Structure 1
Amino acid sequence: MSLALNSHDMSDSSSSSGASSLFAFDLASDTEQPEAYVSGGFLPVDVGDLLGPQADSSLRYRVLGKLGHGAYSTVWLARDNVAKTMVAVKTLRASESTNSRELTLLQRLRNSSPDSSAVVQILNAFTAQSPNGIHQILVTELVIPLRELLEMIRLALLSFTNAVLYTEADLHPNNIGAHLRNLDNLTEKEFWKQSGSPSVVPMISMDSERDPGSFPANLTRGIQLGRILERVEPASLQREIQIRIIDLGCGRIAEDTACPRWHTPLPYVAPELAFPMLVENNRDAFWVGDVLGPLRYRVLAKLGHGSYSTVWLARDTTRQTMVAVKAIRASNSVNSREVAILQRLRSSGSEHSPVIELLDDFTALSPNGLHQMLVTELVVPLSDLLGRIRLAVGAVNASNIARQLLEGVAFIHDRGIVHGDLHPGNIGARLCDLDSFSDKNFWYNFGTPNIVPVVSLDSTRDRASTPAYLTADVPLLGIMQQTMPQVLHREPQVRILDLGCARFAEEASCPRWHAPYSYAAPELLFGMIAQKTRDVIWDWRVDIWSMACTIWELLAAERLFTWNEKYIFRNIARLCDGAPAEWLPWIEAKEAAYTDAPWEKERKRLQNRGQKPAAVDATIALLRHMLKINPLDRPSAADLLYDPFLQTDPVQ
């Protein structure tokens, strides 16, 4: 299963004019219509692809960027890896490839006048097969549109000659270019550095049953070669231009008795051709689709990522609900215990689990290996939600949030699980409001994702081993606040999530800890700093320390301990009753003692966020009870549920 998104939006003219009701995102006005990627339509091409005759053992043309498109073709800048030159690769629609005479015309012109440079030179031709059919591919010398060289247009028109007996039948400024060889010395890496990241729009069809191989991962805007050339070799713009007539796809041999339909743009058409066009304008509408295995979970957007996984928003097409799909790195999937841990927690019989609910799991094979896939209920980051609640309502029920968090920790500890990686990023709030959104409504409200195409500098690398693009996390709560503001007026249902670093309490061996340093218990930090190892023994008590740091950050919106190896022991000692004797080699004696000053500072911080003095005192008392340097002095989560703080309303 690939979690990269595929999509589109289409109508059958040479450029798109916005989203139709069939597709997810509004598309740029300067790309081809996605409806052209159907049977008989365009060849799907993405930046970084390799093209060439199928008989070749290695495909020779590496796609670097898009030059343009028309009603019947797309044109791409490519590097010829054999000749080491830059070329243009024109891919024809499959429906046009069978009867196309462009190759015949270009070959006749080349053979009849080998020394003529009036027409773009054909370098190679071959066919390529896609789900849309067989496509004629033409490789020509590289030219730049004269529209990009406006100051030279007059010279270009004066240089135009027509010395060969053929009829172009589609002459207009876009079909006149200037020969360009000054980019041949650029490597792929140097070219992409100069051109920058291509501007693309992901293609996501509203029809999930369409073959994703029938369309590219992205619609790509054309690059501006003139500006690149101006940066790379500005002197070349001062030389005399070598004019080329291009795009003979609508040309015909003069002696042909049959006269094909004309295709000249209306501003350039002769009047004897224009009138019939006004009463004949039939166009076909096409449907496109997108399939993501295993045919049940359709990926809509990216929720986030970590060191070992990516997490995606998806629609369960069986239950018609929104879910989260977590894809684990192949290297971590073999030994991952997250599924086993979540299954143990699910089988405990609790109807209201404070831990994220596992709905399904399966494996997916990619060129990178076998990936463990987890499908869970949908949650949003609790810290983000609380920040928006404060802005909308004025305060949060801190004691209720803390109670739910401690209930969650007590729940997993009671079932023999140690989380080992508790921090605000792994605390969420259940979200079911999106279930009523259709795919179309979701994409309409959330807009086009921010993406960057993934193109390897190694042309031999398997393209399937990387997604077509990297996508930014979708701002889920920001959009929901605008479209469904009621979510900010309900009590959050807290969920503990991401048990990828968790362990079974009964395990004899203790895995290496992975908690972020600002939330790691002092026994873990001391082992790392003083003993230079992260292979230390740890148990449920590390969760109590991490949860104290997490509760503080959720209430104060700042970390309790900011990581700094030089000062971390001093900062902990000042808040936690002084430093133990074994810390003294790493901390000055005058800094090792406890004082009330740091807590007084934190007390004012909580009061400034709307809590009354009694609630602030109860909060600090709870945290000091949890933040014991000696792990044996820390209370269990079950005992903490009886703390007076949990009976205090923070705004009363």
Structure 2
Amino acid sequence: MSPRTYAPSPSTFAEDPDRYRENGLHPLTIGETLKHGRYRIVHKLGSGSFATVWLGRDTLENKYVSLKILSADTPLECKELRILQDITESTVAHKGREFVVQLLDHFIIQGPNGKHWCLVTAVAGERLARKPGLPYNSLEWPRIIGLQIAEALGYLHTLGIAHGDCYTSNILSQLLPFDKWSEEELYACMGQPIRHQVHRLDGRPKGDNAPDYTVDPGDVVALEARLPTDRIVLIDFGAAFYHHERITEIFTPAPFASPEILFSGELTSSVDKWAFGCLLYELCADRSLIKLLFGWNNDALKDQVSMLGKPSEALWQNWKGKEKYFHPDGTPKEAEGRRLKVEPLSLEQRVRNLEKPLSERSHGTDIATPLPPDLQNLYDLLKGIIIYDAGARLSFEAIQAHPFFSGVDIPKV
């Protein structure tokens, strides 16, 4: 590991100043402008592994926008940009289009650390989370949100595109229009930008590679509270791919990763269907479908087998650690030492547990009592998606037409 150049930020919310280096992030500060003065930086929205995201003011269109500035090591033949262009320029008529982020503009920034793509989109709210105050067994809001996600993914798949990283952080809420707000009104809601001075550890002048300061993200939760809708937008196409591509690796978080990802099977666009099933369950249950104790892929593998039983022999042989937890037929072994025993918990029982408060949910296997109609519909839908056979998972057209979503009315902005 190379020695640090800059002192670490005192904030856990701002990016590491050492990421401002050759082929790294582009330095920006509040008030700077981009594209010959068209976009003025107003606040910070966030940062990720390969980009910073800023709230800007489009002085030409007189509206607020999101500016995602990719690190300079992103190839100029940027796949994410190409996919966003295909999404935005498509003439396919599909109701899911309105739930997928649209590219408003794009351009290259030449900076001290290299060339950076800047992708301009509409401003969205906070990441997807269960609506506060809902009864634990309420399915009305999950059905509204779930149908929008299904329609968004259905639109992508109609275009031959798989999102590849569909989980809660990449689904944001749409906001009511706020373009008439002044910057003072915006700061009154989101808070003034909090700055953290950047300086070198060796005491030498900072130079142009890093900004004078890093910035904490503004309070997007407060912004969303002022501009609420029950509509979503699917974002972040950094892991997206075309259906015809042969993909060898996908970095989906373990709770949403399909068996073919975790068991190193063949990767196809069907990974989006599994991820959708996990999302829908989480919306309904306010907890993840796949239980992780330590945040490892191994935990997800154990829980998938506890839910669905032994996978195909081809997948089963790819899991090197299975002998610690399971017999050759896929039944759990007794716990040894400090290792926790894997408790079988079927998909049906996981759905059945939604009838109970979180504190009362269990590994019970009493399936003699019929499920209530709404939970039966949910189970019927999930059992067509949460399966090992990727090719047999329901299409997004079938998902949208499923009785679970019957009568759902998606609100307008």
What is the TM-score when the length of structure 2 is the normalising length? 0.75
In structure 1, distance between residues paired with 2:76 and 2:133: 40
| Per-residue deviation, 1:632 | 1.8
Alignment partner of 1:546 is 2:275: yes
For 1:497, the equivalent position in structure 2 comes to: 235
1:465-521, CA deviations, whole angstroms, 9 ceiling, x for partnerless residues? 22222222222222442xx3xx44x4x2222111111112233x4363222222111
For 2:102, the equivalent position in structure 1 comes to: 357
The correspondence of residues 339-350 of structure 1 with structure 2, limited to 5 A, is: 339-349=81-91, 350=93
Alignment partner of 1:526 is 2:263: yes
For 1:583, the equivalent position in structure 2 comes to: 316
Deviates more, 1:293-302 or 1:598-607: 598-607
Pair 1:315–1:366, CA change in 2 (3 A):
same
1:585-641, CA deviations, whole angstroms, 9 ceiling, x for partnerless residues? 6141222999555643553346549xx943233223322211111212212212222
| Per-residue deviation, 1:462 | 5.8
In structure 2, distance between residues paired with 1:555 and 1:317: 42
| Per-residue deviation, 1:398 | 1.8
| Per-residue deviation, 1:303 | 1.5
| Per-residue deviation, 1:415 | 0.5
For 1:603, the equivalent position in structure 2 comes to: 352
1:5-28, CA deviations, whole angstroms, 9 ceiling, x for partnerless residues? xxxxxxxxxxxxxxxxxxxxxxxx
For 2:253, the equivalent position in structure 1 comes to: 516
* CA contact 2:39–2:57 (8 Å) conserved in 1: yes
Aligned-partner residue type, residue 603 of structure 1: R
Alignment partner of 1:571 is 2:312: no
Aligned-partner residue type, residue 379 of structure 1: A
Alignment partner of 1:454 is 2:198: yes
Pair 1:298–1:390, CA change in 2 (3 A):
farther
Deviates more, 1:565-574 or 1:582-591: 582-591
Alignment partner of 1:620 is 2:361: no
In structure 1, distance between residues paired with 2:120 and 2:352: 41
For 2:33, the equivalent position in structure 1 comes to: 292
In structure 2, distance between residues paired with 1:314 and 1:606: 45
Aligned-partner residue type, residue 425 of structure 1: S
1:363-390, CA deviations, whole angstroms, 9 ceiling, x for partnerless residues? 1112221111100011123424x43474
SS at the partner of 2:179?
A: helix
In structure 2, distance between residues paired with 1:434 and 1:470: 26
Alignment partner of 1:368 is 2:145: no
| Per-residue deviation, 1:577 | 4.7
* CA contact 2:175–2:224 (8 Å) conserved in 1: no
Pair 1:576–1:436, CA change in 2 (3 A):
farther
In structure 2, distance between residues paired with 1:367 and 1:540: 38
SS at the partner of 1:380?
A: coil
The correspondence of residues 135-154 of structure 1 with structure 2, limited to 5 A, is: none
* CA contact 1:569–1:583 (8 Å) conserved in 2: no
The correspondence of residues 81-480 of structure 1 with structure 2, limited to 5 A, is: 290-294=31-35, 295-349=37-91, 350=93, 353=97, 354-384=99-129, 386-388=130-132, 390=134, 396-459=140-203, 463-480=207-224
In structure 2, distance between residues paired with 1:635 and 1:364: 43
Pair 1:638–1:338, CA change in 2 (3 A):
same
SS at the partner of 1:431?
A: coil
| Per-residue deviation, 1:312 | 1.5
SS at the partner of 1:625?
A: coil
* CA contact 1:521–1:546 (8 Å) conserved in 2: yes
* CA contact 2:43–2:217 (8 Å) conserved in 1: yes
In structure 1, distance between residues paired with 2:205 and 2:118: 24
For 1:227, the equivalent position in structure 2 comes to: none
Aligned-partner residue type, residue 519 of structure 1: F
SS at the partner of 1:639?
A: helix
* CA contact 1:541–1:631 (8 Å) conserved in 2: yes
In structure 2, distance between residues paired with 1:217 and 1:310: 12
In structure 2, distance between residues paired with 1:644 and 1:429: 25
For 1:130, the equivalent position in structure 2 comes to: none
Greater Rg over alpha carbons, structure: 1
Pair 1:545–1:577, CA change in 2 (3 A):
same
* CA contact 2:199–2:206 (8 Å) conserved in 1: no
Q: Sequence identity of aligned pairs in percent?
A: 24
Pair 1:447–1:381, CA change in 2 (3 A):
closer
* CA contact 1:356–1:497 (8 Å) conserved in 2: yes
For 2:337, the equivalent position in structure 1 comes to: none
Pair 1:504–1:598, CA change in 2 (3 A):
closer
In structure 2, distance between residues paired with 1:540 and 1:217: 39
* CA contact 2:257–2:271 (8 Å) conserved in 1: yes
For 1:644, the equivalent position in structure 2 comes to: 403
In structure 2, distance between residues paired with 1:627 and 1:357: 30
Pair 1:542–1:557, CA change in 2 (3 A):
same
Aligned-partner residue type, residue 555 of structure 1: C
